[in-house]
Amino acid sequence: MTGADLATDRLVLRAWSSAELTAVVAGTRLADWAEDFPAEGDGVIAGFLTDHPEGLHAYGHRLIVERGSGLAVGSIGLFWPPAEGVLEVGYGVVPSRRGRGYAPEATRAVVEFALSSPDVHAVYATVELSNAASVRVLEKAGLRRCDGDATTARFRATADG
């Protein structure tokens, strides 16, 4: 991956290593993972990145690592390349670390990073309305609801606020 890690007050968002991808796909545990990492979504991402290593770039997928413990507690990513200047963001934090504000903190950092690219003018996420926790993550991360229907909502952040 090109580009540096993204750091927040409590987290480091860094590239997946090939050893981590291999371990997740093989079902092997590594010492620097939270006890409930990887979650199901992390397995999907690891499988995708194993098959499509071009997703390992500065604007791609990253692990969410607690600064204090050094443990991987989730993953977050941008679905690159942008379509007409718009990207989707996806994230997940393992159950043992939920409720600590990690998901909005990581999402805010990744969205700000994406919007720093001259190729990106908006970042969005689509969420099921039944997933109230994810709706709160997006609101706390500064995304605004811009569209939706009876079951889903689309949230968006733009370079101009």
- pLDDT the model gives residue 2: 42
The per-residue pLDDT for range 4-14, each reduced to its tens digit, is 899 999 999 99
Three-state DSSP at 116 gives: coil
Q: Kindly report the pTM of this predicted structure.
A: 0.94
Domain boundary assignment for the chain: 6-158
Cβ atoms of residues 77 and 90 within 8 Å: yes
Q: Tell me what the mean pLDDT of segment 82-99 comes to.
A: 95
| CATH topology (fold) of 6-158 | Aminopeptidase (3.40.630)
Place of tokens 């720093």: 116
Cβ atoms of residues 79 and 87 within 8 Å: yes
Query: How sure is the predictor about 56, in pLDDT bands with cuts at 50, 70 and 90?
Result: confident
Cβ atoms of residues 26 and 46 within 8 Å: no
Res 3 pLDDT > 70: no
The DSSP secondary-structure symbol of 33 reads B
Q: Tell me what the mean pLDDT of segment 130-134 comes to.
A: 96
* Position with higher pLDDT, 144 vs 54: 144
The per-residue pLDDT for range 13-25, each reduced to its tens digit, is 999 999 999 999 9
